[in-house]
Amino acid sequence: MIKVELPEMTKGEWKVEKFTVDRTDFHSLIHGRAVPVGETFTRLTRNGNLVMSDTPAEMNDHYMAVRFAQKHCLLNGLGLGMVLKNILLSEIVTKVTVIEISQDLIDLILPYYQDSRIEFVCTNAFDYQPPKGIMYGMVWHDIWDDICTDNLPEMERLHRKYGRRAVWQGSWGKELCQRYRRKGY
């Protein structure tokens, strides 16, 4: 996995910015996970709240989506485009349909991912209706700003929706949320 290469920019409620972590930086813990001190990363915020970053922990969270990417892939959620960028590196990926609810985010990120294999659709992941007969080699769901057990019903709903349409599918943080639920968090 490689980091994104986006400039700092803002559109509507969205902001892309660089940050370098030092020992006193509040963001040295993102989603409760350590971030390497002294390295520069990119983060996406909505109305000042962290949505995602390209830190090693976050890249690791998305590794399986990139590993299983093949043929026609579906991404529910654009974020920084980190998963998109990394799956486009694969020659076996023939098309990527990106479902994103925010036109402002698409407008902000789209210019940095120009590839004829990409199709952007501005809609809600739950409302999107894939064309009949489409089978996806990989489906990745990443529409949540935070990892929490409250997301599990929506994850399960999306997994049911694509269960027969995907060779492989996953959701950002699903395993962690399931672990939390088993432990009663």
Residuewise pLDDT in 10s, the chain (185 residues): 999 999 999 999 999 999 987 765 544 454 556 677 888 999 999 999 999 999 998 999 999 999 999 999 999 999 999 999 999 999 999 999 999 999 999 999 999 999 999 999 999 999 999 999 999 999 999 999 888 889 999 999 999 999 999 999 999 988 887 887 788 76
Q: 76 and 55, same structural domain?
A: no
Q: 89 and 19, same structural domain?
A: no
In a domain, 49, yes or no: yes
Cβ distance 14 to 44 under 8 Å?
yes
Cβ distance 1 to 59 under 8 Å?
yes
Structural domain span for residue 54: 9-59
- To the nearest 10 degrees (0 to 180), the angle between helices 174-182 and 152-162 is 130
Q: What is the DSSP string of the chain?
A: --------EEETTEEEEEEE--TT-GGGEETTEE--TT-EEEEEEETTEEEEE--HHHHHHTHHHHHT--EEEEEE--TTSHHHHHHTT-TTEEEEEEEES-HHHHHHHGGG---TTEEEEES-TTT--PPTT--BSEEEE---SS--GGGHHHHHHHHHHHTTTBSSEEETTHHHHHHHHHTT-
Cβ distance 128 to 121 under 8 Å?
yes
Q: 174 and 144, same structural domain?
A: yes
Q: 76 and 52, same structural domain?
A: no
Q: How many CB atoms lie within 10 A of CB 35?
A: 21
Q: 152 and 107, same structural domain?
A: yes
Number of domain units in the chain: 2
Q: 130 and 162, same structural domain?
A: yes
